[in-house]
Amino acid sequence: MKTTGKKPGEWSAIRQHLATWEKPALLALVKDLYEAAAENRHFLLARCQAEESGGLAVEKYRQKIVEQFFPRRRLMGELKLGEARKAIRDYRKATGNTAGTAELLMTYVENGAEFTAQFGNIDQRFYSSIESALEELAVLLRGEARPLYPQFADRLARIEERTAGIGWGFHDFISDVVRQLAEELGGA
């Protein structure tokens, strides 16, 4: 369901056309889109399960993230952080579900911490990406996902422990964010 390459007015024309269709024809079109590509299937499943933070849709996107850090078939040198971040963006776009988005951000940070713990120092781009995801999670937890903080507190503490001794200022950043969240939300 790529949005790149769309021309101004295309959606308007499609929308006008679809507005004349009956429900069975619209359902047939959605089914055709579902069958056309895996990305469409994931999007539709996520949209239909938008209120379920622990559902099958979240799990499919979580697996996309984990696969980028710890692939079953690729060699270690093929880390694709952009694909993992894209999974989070795609899920959020498809569902708007805050709890599921927070879960996927947490998964990204956990796998990034585990990856660097297992394979040693990576590079600044890697650490910046993990830090960015943690900051995005922190913003959610301070805002609309505030009630979810207790579900994440122990996991955040484990990440802080797991990153001890990792350079590039990575552990310091993790510690600062985890500490600030605990101070701000620990009693929430």
Q: What is the pLDDT of residues 28-50, one digit of tens each?
A: 666 677 677 667 666 666 666 65
Give the 3-state secondary structure percentages of the chain, helix then strand then coil, rounded to 5.
Answer: 75, 0, 25
Residue 53 binned pLDDT confidence (cut-offs 50, 70, 90):
very low
pLDDT at 2: 47
pLDDT for residue 77 is more than 70: no
Side-chain half-sphere CA neighbours of 149 within 13 A: 21
User: Pick the residue with more confidence: 180 or 24?
Assistant: 180
Residue the block writes with tokens 């971040």? 85
The per-residue pLDDT of the chain, averaged, comes to 84
151: three-class secondary structure by DSSP: helix
| List of residues 6+ apart from 105 with CB closer than 8 A | 88, 133, 134, 136, 137, 140
- Environment class of 91 (CB within 10 Å of its CB; exposed 0-12, middle 13-18, buried 19+): buried
Q: Which of 180, 176, 153, 148 is nearest to 163 (CA)?
A: 176
* Cα(79)–Cα(70) distance, integer angstroms: 8
